[in-house]
Amino acid sequence: MSPISEPSITENKKWYKQFWPWFLITIPVCSMILSFNMLRFAFDGQDAMVVDDYYKQGKAINISLEKVQKAKDLMIETQLTVDQQQVSLRFISGAPQSGAALRLAFYHVTQAPKDQVIDLFRDAQGVYRGIAEHDLTGKWQVALTPHDQTWKVQQTLSLPQTDSITFKP
């Protein structure tokens, strides 16, 4: 009787049917894919938070501080109400005598493309109203100025809020 042949341990499978070659090939392939994606992000991304000229920025900060001081001298205090995209502003004290339109700028803390400026116009009751182009949900640096930029009131806000916001320098 001939012995029954059993598969030997030394029998080799073809390389593409084994686990380890595919595992070892996968690591560099994944590494290359991730590297190409990182390069694409590096070249396509914009540096919106980077400032080119720090000296000019420093001068602008000093001018801005003078405008804030002017608003304090005028004792400007307002109540800001934001209801979805409807914005209304009522002066508690220091209302401008001329009744000219005001500019309310919303600067998103981290995403410059979301920044927007709203022109506020006074109605018959003395309330300044305007409409935002985009949703105002999130954290914002908000600046209120007249169109001639003589004074400035600024504050950091998180929206939405159900109550009106006291807005003063």
Judged against a pLDDT cut of 90, whether residue 62 lies above it is answered with: no
The pLDDT value recorded for residue 143 is 87
Long-range contacts of 24-33 (CB under 8 A, 24+ apart): none
Judged against a pLDDT cut of 60, whether residue 2 lies above it is answered with: no
Q: Which residue from 87, 70, 68 is spatially nearest to 130, judged by alpha carbons? A: 87
Q: Which residue from 114, 167, 112 is spatially nearest to 143, judged by alpha carbons? A: 167
Per DSSP (E only), the strands in the chain are: 77-83, 86-93, 102-108, 116-122, 128-131, 138-146, 153-159, 165-167
pTM assigned to the model:
0.61
The pLDDT value recorded for residue 144 is 86
Judged against a pLDDT cut of 90, whether residue 34 lies above it is answered with: yes
